[in-house]
Amino acid sequence: MFTSKLPEVGTTIFTRMSQLAAQTGALNLSQGFPDFDGPQALRDAVGRHIAAGHNQYAAMTGLPALREQIAAKIARSYGRQVNVDSEITVTPGATQAIFCAIQTLIHAGDEVVVFDPSYDSYDPAVQLAGGRCVHVPLALPDFAIDWQRLSDALSPRTRLIIINSPHNPSGALISAADLDRLAALIRDRNIYLLSDEVYEHLVFDGVRHASVLAHDELYQRAFVVSSFGKTYHVTGWKTGYVVAPPALTAELRKVHQFVSFCGVTPLQWALADFMGEQPQHVDELPAFYQAKRDLFCDLLADSRFTFTRTAGTYFQLADYSAIRPDLDDVAMAEWLTREHGVATIPVSVFYQQAPKDLRLVRLCFAKREETLRQAAEKLSAV
């Protein structure tokens, strides 16, 4: 008999809620993905490149043309010139990038600080590396970093801190001042940073994303991860990338080459073409998703859910205390799906230990107007 390396891990909440939505015919606002397609020109480009014979292994580090486009975008968005060859690695999805960064840094017995609620792949990846996560809760109601708790959580064994801004599930943002404070806190310690910025272009109300790529000091010890899935409405393409200084990148590639070797070739060609042809796509995303957020929130204004408009991501949290305070959020998500035809994600699953009175569900608004209208109608009747 073997011993499980991940005894506490089951099927993820995203799979479970999407399955329940499919079984019950509910509108699926649970797992984060658009119910509309990515740009036609981008999709056409994949077919073109497959027909043109771009079907064998890509470079292990990523297609050069795509790495060039990524570097150009980073220069435009964050003012950093990264080296195309030694600082950018294309991966089959951000999840793989995160996994590889963690395997690169974490030795048995090392500690990794994660902020709860946190994305579900971090902790298992740390466990598989033989490390241990120290879960530091974000301060409610704004999901802000509690600096005292962070400072208390650091130990001589702390090797890595994982941050995620814009934050899944809350949409909260880390500010440039927060990054300065973080830099000061780890300046004299041997601690690295993994910055999960997959929602980097989904920031609303005119706010600018504070990227670690724009922070000279933190970048020197950081892996910065992004995902084309979010930016180009193609989550199923599972294509992302990681940017890090040359020494860290070299070490990361040792892992990446044995986890997957490379990303999918025709997808990388298509993304490179599209980024070159339509660099403005990323600048148009905030308005595109903000309109969806505002439509959805306006439609929910008279419902019994309470919420503050999300600052980033394509997720909106909603408090249901006024509706079914008797139900915990997992039960509430199931009840909403079965009885009211809308699938959501309970927020407690993003915690090691959720606050007992947490009454929040997460709604994905990366949906067509028609879907948002139907969902809001059902939710307003609850």
Q: Which residues sit at the interface with ligand PMP, rule CB under 6 A? A: 32, 93-95, 119, 164, 168, 196, 198, 227, 229, 235, 238, 240
**Is the preceding omega at residue 141 within 30 degrees of 0, hence cis?**
yes
Angle at 103 between CA 362 and CA 100, to 5 degrees: 65
Tallying the residues shown for the chain, one arrives at: 382
Q: Could you count the other beta carbons within 10 Å of the beta carbon of residue 125?
A: 22
Comparing CB distances to ligand PMP, the nearer of 281 and 362 is 362
* Residue 263: both structure tokens together: 């990303």
Angle at 165 between CA 160 and CA 167, to 5 degrees: 105
Q: Could you count the other beta carbons within 10 Å of the beta carbon of residue 265?
A: 18
- Asked whether position 240 contacts ligand GLN by CB under 6 A, the answer is no
**Among ligand PMP, ligand GLN, none, residue 94 binds (CB under 5-8 Å by kind):** ligand PMP
Least gap, CB of 8 to ligand GLN (angstroms)? 17
Q: Describe the strand order of the beta sheet including 222-227 as a list of residue ranges.
A: 88-91, 240-243, 222-227, 192-196, 158-164, 111-116, 132-137
How big is the site for ligand GLN, counted in residues (CB under 6 A)?
5
**Among ligand PMP, ligand GLN, none, residue 31 binds (CB under 5-8 Å by kind):** ligand GLN
- Asked whether position 164 contacts ligand GLN by CB under 6 A, the answer is no
- Asked whether position 91 contacts ligand GLN by CB under 6 A, the answer is no
Least gap, CB of 365 to ligand GLN (angstroms)? 12
- Asked whether position 312 contacts ligand GLN by CB under 6 A, the answer is no
- Asked whether position 268 contacts ligand GLN by CB under 6 A, the answer is no
Comparing CB distances to ligand PMP, the nearer of 121 and 306 is 121
Q: Which position among 164, 168, 249, 316 is part of the footprint of ligand GLN (CB under 6 A)?
A: 168
**Among ligand PMP, ligand GLN, none, residue 240 binds (CB under 5-8 Å by kind):** ligand PMP
Q: Which of 281, 316, 349, 250 minimizes the C-alpha distance to 12?
A: 349
Considering only residues 27-46, where is the footprint of ligand GLN by CB under 6 A? 31-32
Alpha-carbon distance 382 to 372, whole Å?
16
Least gap, CB of 18 to ligand GLN (angstroms)? 8
Alpha-carbon distance 359 to 357, whole Å?
6
Comparing CB distances to ligand GLN, the nearer of 204 and 350 is 350
Comparing CB distances to ligand PMP, the nearer of 93 and 341 is 93
Quickly tell me which residue has 């014979």 as its tokens.
53
CA distances from 253 to 212, 219, 246, 259 (A): 20, 18, 10, 10
- Strand partners for 315: 364
**Among ligand PMP, ligand GLN, none, residue 352 binds (CB under 5-8 Å by kind):** none
The CB-nearest residue to ligand GLN is 32
Number of helical (H) and strand (E) elements in the chain, helices listed first? 14, 12
- The site for ligand GLN (CB under 6 A) is made up of 12, 14, 31-32, 168
